[in-house]
Amino acid sequence: MEDKREEAIAILNGLVELELAGAVRYTQYSLMIFGHARIPIMHWMRQQASEALTHATEAGEEVTSMGGRVSLDIGQLAGTHHASVDEILQELVVHERRGIELYRKLLKLTEGWSISLEEFARAKVRGEEMHLAEIEKMLRRRGDA
């Protein structure tokens, strides 16, 4: 049981780091948007940044509820200046997939062990999958099937 707790804390800390990086990434990219669709895209990215910060906080609360220490690190940032919104969105696809992978890992670990963490992970998988679907839709062109 202790092994699962330690592994869950490690995954949750990975999520804290990833979500904090997402908050920074979405904020920075919101500043790089220009053109006709700037306002709605910028607004959407800032909403995503706010949500990522909320997710990092929630994951950190789970860590402390389990008696662990919250990581003070932040996940990897790409640090590139993209030439187009499509390039930014492609990078965000990769970021969202990493989140889904970590939340699924937490879900698998907690199944049958912690209903609370299992439900937390399940809800986050659903939300992240919806974010990914939205980004993928944004990358499609009219007429794409």
Q: Encode pLDDT of 10-61 as tens digits.
A: 999 999 999 999 999 999 999 999 999 999 999 999 999 999 999 999 999 9
CATH of region 2-72+81-139: 1.20.1260.10
Phi, psi of 64 (to 5 degrees): -70, -30
3-state secondary structure at position 140 = coil
Predicted TM-score (pTM) of the model is 0.93
**pLDDT at residue 141 greater than cutoff 90:** no
22/55 Cα distance (integer angstroms): 10
What's the pLDDT at 67? Answer: 97
Q: Is residue 140's pLDDT more than 80?
A: yes
